[in-house]
Amino acid sequence: GDSVTQMEGPVTLSEEAFLTINCTYTATGYPSLFWYVQYPGEGLQLLLKATKADDKGSNKGFEATYRKETTSFHLEKGSVQVSDSAVYFCALKSSGSARQLTFGSGTQLTVLP
Amino acid sequence: EPEVTQTPSHQVTQMGQEVILRCVPISNHLYFYWYRQILGQKVEFLVSFYNNEISEKSEIFDDQFSVERPDGSNFTLKIRSTKLEDSAMYFCASSDRAPREGYTFGSGTRLTVV
Mean pLDDT computed over A62-76? 97
**Hey, are the CB atoms on A105 and B106 less than 8 Å from each other?**
no
Q: Within an 8 Å CB–CB cutoff, is residue B108 touching chain A?
A: yes
Closest CA to B5 of B67, B111, B94: B94
Distance between CA atoms of residues A80 and A100, nearest Å: 31
Report the range of poorest mean pLDDT among A65-79, B46-60, B66-80, B88-102.
Answer: B88-102
Closest CA to B72 of B20, B32, B21: B32
Note whether A74 and A56 are within 8 A (CB): no
Q: Which of B44, B56, B108 sits opposite A43 (nearest CB)?
A: B108
Q: Within an 8 Å CB–CB cutoff, is residue A102 touching chain B?
A: yes
Q: What is the reported pLDDT for B87?
A: 97
Q: What is the mean pLDDT of chain A?
A: 93
Q: What is the mean pLDDT of chain B?
A: 92
Q: Within an 8 Å CB–CB cutoff, is residue B102 touching chain A?
A: yes
DSSP 8-state code for residue B99: G
Q: What is the reported pLDDT for B28?
A: 86
Q: What is the reported pLDDT for A85?
A: 97
Q: Within an 8 Å CB–CB cutoff, is residue A98 touching chain B?
A: yes
Mean pLDDT computed over A77-89? 96
Is the pLDDT confidence value at B39 over 90?
Answer: no
Is the pLDDT confidence value at B98 over 70?
Answer: no
b or e along B7-42 (b: 16 or more beta carbons within 10 Å of the residue's beta carbon)?
A: eeeebebeeeeebebbbbbbeebebbbbbbbeeeeb
Bridge partners for B32 per DSSP: B49, B94
Is the pLDDT confidence value at A71 over 70?
Answer: yes
Three-class DSSP category at A10: coil
Taking CA atoms, A61 is separated from A46, A57, B13, B98, in Å, by 14, 10, 42, 25
Is the pLDDT confidence value at A67 over 90?
Answer: yes
